[in-house]
Structure 1
Amino acid sequence: MDSRIYIIGHKNPDTDSICSAIAYAYFKRQHSGVDAVPCRLGPVNAETRFVLNHFGLEEPEYIENVYTQIKDINYDRPLSVNGSWPMLAAWQLMQESGMGTVCVVDDSGKFLGLATLGDLAKVYLSQMNSLEKFNIPVNNAASVLSGEVITPGKGQLGGNLIVAAMSLDEVVKRIQPGDTIIVGDRPYIQKAAIEYGAGALIITGGIRPNDDIIELSRRHGVSLILVPCNTFDTVKYISQSIPISYIMKERDIVSFSEDDYIHEVTNTMSQYRYRNFPVVDENGAVIGLISRRHVLDYETKNVILVDHNEFSQTVDGINEANILEIIDHHRLGGVVTDKPILFKNQPVGCTSTIIYGIYEDAGVMPPPEIAGIMCAAIISDTLIFKSPTCTPKDIEAAHSLASIAGIDIKSFAGMMFKEGTSLDGKSPEDIFFTDFKEFHVDDFTIGVGQINVLADPGDIKRDILSYMKGLKEKGNYDVLLLMLTNIIDNGSEILWVSDYRDMLERAFSIDIYGNSFYLPGVVSRKNQVIPPIIRAVKSLKK
């Protein structure tokens, strides 16, 4: 069962999303002793990559979703038997374990098929007159019948199964080359059976054949097996020496891998009447058995969300996950939980500010590298304290963290923004989704991206607008915006694509000409762009 706690920032992660996840995961591991794993929902941007490299930290683990997978739940360890095992040995293993299914594997451990108690009973209760299709190893027969292989012959029992209880003439009339003869202490019939081409003799009653019979069987390549039981019991039990590979089901087997999702597994199971389904690894080796009881009640993945609280921005599969906490500084979105959780939502400029407060409340000093990335996140989210979202608490936290990390805020910010604002080698799609968030207001779908720039990006804006127009139709967006936020000039040029020009003009109290407009002093998506758009959208409904 998966005991990890996944700490996850939003899609299209920015520096705060990544650094908050890393910093809070570190806190949970050190203070609470839990297996907390920071995760990301997309590639890190150039700014964030610079921050992580500067402080010697690795990128968080990438995850696509938090749907529960087979590897996250408990399932049965397999009962595995080699395909050459006699049926009796497989049955005994089932009885000892209390399980009704065995997985049949080859010598390398690769899965071949399944055999159930029902399959074994069907063979055991069937009348067996021929061994032709089974090729039973002589060692299997000796093991099942507690006997001894005197001469191995060709090593296998085959042909028709003949009980030599009749006269000599009748016996030799029935023998075909390769047949298996069950015979008691009747040397003359033993000799005749060998000479007439029998492939194997099973001598019952425990009376050892004479040396002439042994030598004759050796010269003719006949398998000679001595068993202690009588002829009746030998006939009764011989079928139990059939290799399990002949009994197993190998066609139409439905198997799963540990990476398969439980909701998909459940749907597949509903289409079949099988009791157990094998779980195999990438090499085809069986690693477990899963049944309906395993998927009816199971523990879901434990998740903590940081720097967001809206379904549109969070990881796929969140409805199936167990949300433990949310730490955020944005407006309340639509995340719903089935039980009370710890929800820290504060009107500050950065989630890392909140997380540093948690460190302080617990009396935990972050190591320099963790302090450094939290400071970088605050610098990034507040645009070096210029954003209207910035609060005294953000500034105080940033200076404290800078002292722990041993960095100068001004010089570090200059290096970080220089790395983060470079558009070299980036496609319009990469640029647009550098820091993108989707919002839903009533039945409106709004997408707003934001990048920081030190100068006008130039001609690439035409390519970005062309991409946005295609995305609007493809993604069914009502409004798409990209904020080109100039850190030096303290304002944003807005590239826009929408059928609602009037609504945008009303939102920002401006006249819009062309596919862009400039908003002086506007640098915060959260405080200065989204709220007026929401008010303008709602006014359309009145």
Structure 2
Amino acid sequence: MSDIYVFGHRNPDTDSICSAIAYSDFKNLTEKDYNYIPARLGPINRETQFVLDYFGVPVPRVIENVYTQVSDIHFDKPVNVNKNASMFEAWHMILQHNARTINIVDDSGKFLGLATLGDIAKVYLESSSGFSGYAVPVKNIVETLKGEALVLKEEVFSGNIIVAAMQIDDIQSRIKEGDLLIVGNRKDVQLMAVKSGIKILVVTGGHEVPGDVLETAGANGVTVIKVPYDTFDTVKLINESLPVRYIMKTEDLITFSLEDTIDDVKETMLKYRYRNFPVLDGQKRPVGMLARSHILDYTRKNVILVDHNEKSQSAEGIEQASILEIIDHHRIGCLETGQPIVFINRPVGCTATIVCRNYEERNIMPSKKIAGLMCAAILSDTLMFKSPTCTGEDIRAAKKLAGIAGIEIEKFARAMFEAGTSLEGKTEEEIFFTDFKEFKIGDYKIGVSQVNIFNNSPESLKNRLIQFMEKLRTDREYDLLLLMLTDIINEVSEFLFVGNHRELIRRAFGVDVGGNSFLLPRVVSRKKQVVPRIISAINSLS
């Protein structure tokens, strides 16, 4: 089942969060082919946290961007082999999965390196006089040779390999302490060997090993392995018990994470002509193998936007996503879609009012929690019906939802506003970006932030905010930045502003500004009382 993310604008407010949750709930109730997931593009504010806590609803997951990522691509399943696995096991894994490259991992599954079909084939073509330079698990030798450990005294072997293909005296002269001896059903050689300090005795041909040989081997700490192969095949196969970690590549490896974007992947693949690239998860465990063919056809992230429809207010990478629907109550901005979509844009005070109508049109009763979230969003966006953006539809919906949720509107709204307007302990950046929106109007780049307050803020805080805004304006090249400090109860906003466009302020609001602030009674709505006036003023100047 495919996931579809539903989210509001950056610096999300209560409407943005609650409408995303409510609309996801509505879609999951009415459509079963997809999984609708509410999300957010940034931290939630105190007001929204109060609302979610009040109704016992978890905070939606945060998404950094909606770029097409490796996680959106249908890549191949990986073939992962433990670092101590034998070459024999690695070879058969390659044949079984028809793979050309395998990932070598540690005991926790973490990626260590790669081994290719060529790397393993090379070992088959090489002969070795022993394992003196390696640490080979004895179980690898047993499994590779399909043998049976009759006496097990060693876990790991490191030493030379001797083949008993000569007279016993010659064999005895060649044996050194710690060797592995391969021998057939020659009891005299077997007894001599286990007394001479060898570590492992490999008996070929499936022959039974005499009891006194096993007893002597046990007494001298010698491991005895019986194998079905003849001596020639045993010698040929024993190299394959070498742990695959000894032939893996560990340098100049290129891997991708699930979070890497498709653009970055393409750029990297152009530089490196490898056939396959490992894909690692957050714990550095291989979860796939990526080839060039995989990035020719991929699925974009599917999203639904609520409470906004402008690119500058949406997620990073929104141009790469498939926008399926937009549910909004703001002016129509500049987003483009690749195909016709559901676009509901109504002149009401809150997106949740539109979402509520969707429930009603389908004769679906929202749960108490979802009704409470939608009611809280309406109360927040309409400032408890005092905002000029508020309509009769908002009031009707809020009252209905309050009844379902079992809350008293005025009592709940005051508690919500009181929780949300406290600036105590917040930095200037946190305050300014509580509810910030950027607008491209003509040749102007303008940012307008709004913070609701109950009591007048101290002058020292305002001065610090102005200093922060001036730096932000310079760093991000804004023409004008405004911060609305809105007193919800007294219906008045104090504006802090930075920029050199005082004439624009005068035309927009009819005030002459001497410093960096001005007061506008009965102005509480950014959408209806501020942005439209700025647009008109810019148009008049041009």
TM range (shorter): 0.7 to 0.9
TM-fit CA distance, 1:95: 1.9
Alpha-carbon distance in structure 2 between the residues aligned to 1:280 and 1:32: 33
| Corresponding position: 1:507 with 2:508 | yes
Alpha-carbon distance in structure 2 between the residues aligned to 1:46 and 1:183: 79
8 A Cα contact 1:204 1:226, kept in partner: yes
Residues 173, 364 of structure 1: alpha-carbon distance in 2 compared, 3 angstrom cutoff: same
| Corresponding position: 1:457 with 2:457 | yes
TM-fit CA distance, 1:206: 4.3
Counterpart amino acid of residue 536 in structure 2:
R
Residues 324, 166 of structure 1: alpha-carbon distance in 2 compared, 3 angstrom cutoff: same
TM-fit CA distance, 1:219: 5.4
8 A Cα contact 1:136 1:241, kept in partner: yes
TM-fit CA distance, 1:309: 0.7
Q: Counterpart of 1:5?
A: 4
TM-fit CA distance, 1:287: 4.5
TM-fit CA distance, 1:489: 4.3
Q: Counterpart of 1:340?
A: 340
Secondary structure of 2:429's counterpart equals helix
TM-fit CA distance, 1:310: 0.9
Alpha-carbon distance in structure 2 between the residues aligned to 1:230 and 1:111: 37
TM-fit CA distance, 1:526: 1.5
Residues 413, 173 of structure 1: alpha-carbon distance in 2 compared, 3 angstrom cutoff: closer
Q: Counterpart of 1:482?
A: 483
Q: Counterpart of 1:63?
A: 63
Counterpart amino acid of residue 508 in structure 2:
A
Q: Deviations over 1:27-75 (max 9, x none)?
A: 1122223422222223333333333344343333233222344445544
TM-fit CA distance, 1:451: 2.4
Secondary structure of 1:495's counterpart equals strand
| Corresponding position: 1:523 with 2:520 | no
Residues 92, 422 of structure 1: alpha-carbon distance in 2 compared, 3 angstrom cutoff: closer
| Corresponding position: 1:21 with 2:26 | no
Alpha-carbon distance in structure 1 between the residues aligned to 2:182 and 2:162: 6
Alpha-carbon distance in structure 2 between the residues aligned to 1:8 and 1:291: 32
**Which range is displaced more, 444-453 or 100-109?**
100-109
Q: Counterpart of 1:309?
A: 309
Q: TM-score, normalised by structure 2?
A: 0.87
Alpha-carbon distance in structure 2 between the residues aligned to 1:429 and 1:504: 24
Alpha-carbon distance in structure 1 between the residues aligned to 2:51 and 2:502: 38
Secondary structure of 1:533's counterpart equals helix
Residues 515, 172 of structure 1: alpha-carbon distance in 2 compared, 3 angstrom cutoff: same
Alpha-carbon distance in structure 2 between the residues aligned to 1:464 and 1:431: 8
Residues 233, 489 of structure 1: alpha-carbon distance in 2 compared, 3 angstrom cutoff: closer
8 A Cα contact 1:158 1:199, kept in partner: no
Secondary structure of 1:384's counterpart equals coil
**Which range is displaced more, 508-517 or 183-192?**
183-192
Alpha-carbon distance in structure 2 between the residues aligned to 1:79 and 1:361: 51
8 A Cα contact 1:484 1:492, kept in partner: yes
Alpha-carbon distance in structure 2 between the residues aligned to 1:190 and 1:54: 80
TM-fit CA distance, 1:295: 4.2
Residues 353, 143 of structure 1: alpha-carbon distance in 2 compared, 3 angstrom cutoff: closer
Q: Counterpart of 2:328?
A: 328
Q: Counterpart of 2:400?
A: 400
Alpha-carbon distance in structure 2 between the residues aligned to 1:391 and 1:241: 78
Secondary structure of 1:434's counterpart equals helix
Secondary structure of 2:506's counterpart equals helix
Q: Counterpart of 1:371?
A: 371
TM-fit CA distance, 1:159: 3.7
**Which range is displaced more, 468-477 or 289-298?**
289-298
The percentage of aligned residue pairs carrying the same residue is 52
TM-fit CA distance, 1:475: 2.1
**Which range is displaced more, 27-36 or 219-228?**
219-228
8 A Cα contact 1:138 1:223, kept in partner: no
Alpha-carbon distance in structure 1 between the residues aligned to 2:354 and 2:264: 38
TM-fit CA distance, 1:124: 0.6
Q: Deviations over 1:336-386 (max 9, x none)?
A: 222221111122222112111211211112233322332332233233333
Give the RMSD, CA atoms, in angstroms: 3.2
Secondary structure of 1:344's counterpart equals strand
Trace 1:282-301 onto structure 2 (pairs within 5 A).
285-301=285-301
Q: Deviations over 1:438-458 (max 9, x none)?
A: 111233210011223445334
Alpha-carbon distance in structure 2 between the residues aligned to 1:195 and 1:374: 85
Q: Deviations over 1:426-445 (max 9, x none)?
A: 33333322221111123321
TM-fit CA distance, 1:122: 0.8
8 A Cα contact 1:138 1:149, kept in partner: no
TM-fit CA distance, 1:174: 4.5
Counterpart amino acid of residue 30 in structure 1:
L
Secondary structure of 2:439's counterpart equals strand
TM-fit CA distance, 1:499: 1.0
Q: Counterpart of 2:533?
A: 532
TM-fit CA distance, 1:322: 2.0
Residues 484, 109 of structure 1: alpha-carbon distance in 2 compared, 3 angstrom cutoff: closer
Runs of at least 5 residues in structure 2 that lack an aligned partner in the other structure: none
Query: How many residue pairs were aligned?
Result: 540
Residues 161, 495 of structure 1: alpha-carbon distance in 2 compared, 3 angstrom cutoff: same
Secondary structure of 1:375's counterpart equals helix
**Which range is displaced more, 402-411 or 20-29?**
402-411
| Corresponding position: 1:141 with 2:141 | yes
Residues 175, 447 of structure 1: alpha-carbon distance in 2 compared, 3 angstrom cutoff: same
Trace 1:34-53 onto structure 2 (pairs within 5 A).
34-53=34-53
8 A Cα contact 1:304 1:326, kept in partner: yes
Q: Counterpart of 1:89?
A: 89
Q: Deviations over 1:13-33 (max 9, x none)?
A: 222212211221121122223
Runs of at least 5 residues in structure 1 that lack an aligned partner in the other structure: none
Alpha-carbon distance in structure 1 between the residues aligned to 2:39 and 2:505: 35
8 A Cα contact 1:147 1:226, kept in partner: yes
Q: Deviations over 1:281-328 (max 9, x none)?
A: 555555444444444433232211111111111122222322111111
Residues 222, 520 of structure 1: alpha-carbon distance in 2 compared, 3 angstrom cutoff: closer
Alpha-carbon distance in structure 2 between the residues aligned to 1:253 and 1:187: 51
**Which range is displaced more, 372-381 or 498-507?**
372-381
8 A Cα contact 1:155 1:223, kept in partner: no
Trace 1:184-203 onto structure 2 (pairs within 5 A).
184-185=184-185, 198-203=198-203
Secondary structure of 2:2's counterpart equals coil
